[in-house]
Structure 1
Amino acid sequence: MPAVTSGPPADTLAALVEDARRLAARPGRTILGLTGAPGAGKSTLATALAESLGPEVVALAPMDGFHLDDPILHACGARGRKGAIDTFDDAGYAALLTRLRAQGPDEVVYAPRYDRDLETSVGSALPILPSVPLVVTEGNYLLATTGAWPRVRAALDEVWFLDLDPQVRQARLVERHVRHGEDPARAHERALGPDHANAVAVESLREGATRVVRL
């Protein structure tokens, strides 16, 4: 009896690295977006691509650097929804990607970085040289159609949507929250509450991706 298969085969890291290498070989600057629900592995894959291809080939400019600061979220009553689409500076993120698209030969662009331990953004933490051919950016809402998000999508050459089993993804989220200081009960509450709501919103956008990556 033939083996029963459950769907398309998973993408391997080696294959994804080679596909990213081909993007980097295009003339000029290429910007690759990685998106998917919280916990799908976006930052892990972005880091793996950068480490595999090296800093001369890949620079990272993650969306999470544009989290609104906690005092701002507290002031507008949104701290409990941190990570929702309206808790990011979408216009600032779009402006960064537009600038990276048109980066001059003598210009260094500095992107912000999100510190998960401090739960705050660190400005001008990631220098991006004009000689780097491939910029990888990752985040939940690259395919959103409201606010300034369409300008984000317009700056991207390709968007890969990371598809991961929901149970595995939620387990990763719980582990991440615990690793960064949450007690296990609160970590589960976040993973099944705000994180799940954000995941539903992100899943509704997958049709706008140029590729679905199954991990």
Structure 2
Amino acid sequence: MDQSNASPSMIEARAISKHFDTEAGRVALFSDLDLSVPVGESLAVVGRSGAGKSTLLSLLAGLDTPSSGSVSIAGQAIETLDDRQRAELRASKISFIFQSFHLLPELTALDNVRLPLEIRGAANPEQDARHWLTEVGLGERTDHYPSQLSGGEQQRVAIARAFATRPALLFADEPTGNLDEDTGSHIIEQLFSLNQQEGTTLILITHDPELAARCQRRLRLHNGQLTEE
């Protein structure tokens, strides 16, 4: 096959495995998985709960290390980087939407979104943070702390934070799981607008078949194997 016109890869995973040692012995979550994600692709990973989707996401993002195999992000092999270099790579290129939000409780919604912009040296971090909070419907809640927000509102803050930095690569674990239907539809449109207008590579874990169907490619993780849908 002629690769001369192939898109460059944002992620290359080669023969990655993850196992855990328990009192009952070694448990293999998956073994020898290969995955290539071109720049600008939208990819959904689906599968039953407990199949290892969130673990796979953590390995691809460099938040965890595989038991064997290698992962490269934008041409950089993660296993060759120290903790500081990995943190710098994530700060410069990657954003996350986690199910558990990971908001800083001592910061307001505005400051939770503004902080990563300041870390990246954005020219107008407060203006950008206010813009994205408005985009997710929280323009009137900027001064509220996470404890003063509902679960759905906290998720929207996390989504605004992820969008605000206009990342090269966005990982999202059930990004609409705590949102009502109307808000979820709006967030989905924002996700794919980011993908199409900014060229952001999207890797989504989802149980939502409509969201998965919007992606250019769908993979199912089942019994330790990735298969095309």
Q: Same fold per TM (> 0.5)?
A: no
Question: TM-score, normalized by length of structure 2?
Answer: 0.35
Q: Choose between structure 1 and 2: higher helix proportion.
A: 1
TM-score normalised by the chain length of structure 1: 0.37
Bigger relative CO (Cα 8 Å, ≥ 6 apart): 1
Please state which structure has a larger fraction of its residues in strand.
2
